[in-house]
């Protein structure tokens, strides 16, 4: 839920909020790919390497949080032999992508 909560909290005040969640099965490399995409304020590329560090907060301090959410997400994903990464640019929205080893029956697309 952290990725969805972040998408809501960091929405752009200049446009209607749009959040898309997709799940894709990549047969060629036996990966299930989950993406959470928003059209919010985005994240500068300079933070891509540090955003998953514990207690890291990049945004407006008026939004409550401990800075642990993305770090915990990363620990959970890596605990399942997966990886999490970000695709974003300032003011263009953000996609968090999670790649996990395929589990039969999880994704049928």
pLDDT tens readout for residues 44-81: 888 888 999 999 887 666 677 788 999 999 999 999 99
User: Tokens 């949080």 map to which residue?
Assistant: 65
Mention every residue, 6+ apart, whose C-beta is less than 8 A from residue 6. Answer: 69, 70
Domains within the chain, CATH numbers bracketed: 2-101 (3.30.565.10)
> What is the per-residue pLDDT across 9-49, written as a single tens digit (0 to 9) for each?
888 888 999 999 999 999 899 999 999 999 998 888 888 88
Model confidence, pTM: 0.86
């Amino acid at each position: 839920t952290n990725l969805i909560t972040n998408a809501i909290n960091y929405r752009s005040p200049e446009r209607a909020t749009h959040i898309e969640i997709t799940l894709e099965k990549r047969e060629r490399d036996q990966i299930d790919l989950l993406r959470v995409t928003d059209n919010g304020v985005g994240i500068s590329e300079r933070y891509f390497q540090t955003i998953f560090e514990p207690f890291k907060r990049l945004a407006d301090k008026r939004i409550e949080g401990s800075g642990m959410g993305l770090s915990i997400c990363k620990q959970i994903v890596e605990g399942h032999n997966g990886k999490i990464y970000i695709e974003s640019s300032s003011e263009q929205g953000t996609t968090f992508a999670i790649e996990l080893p395929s589990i039969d029956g999880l994704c049928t697309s």
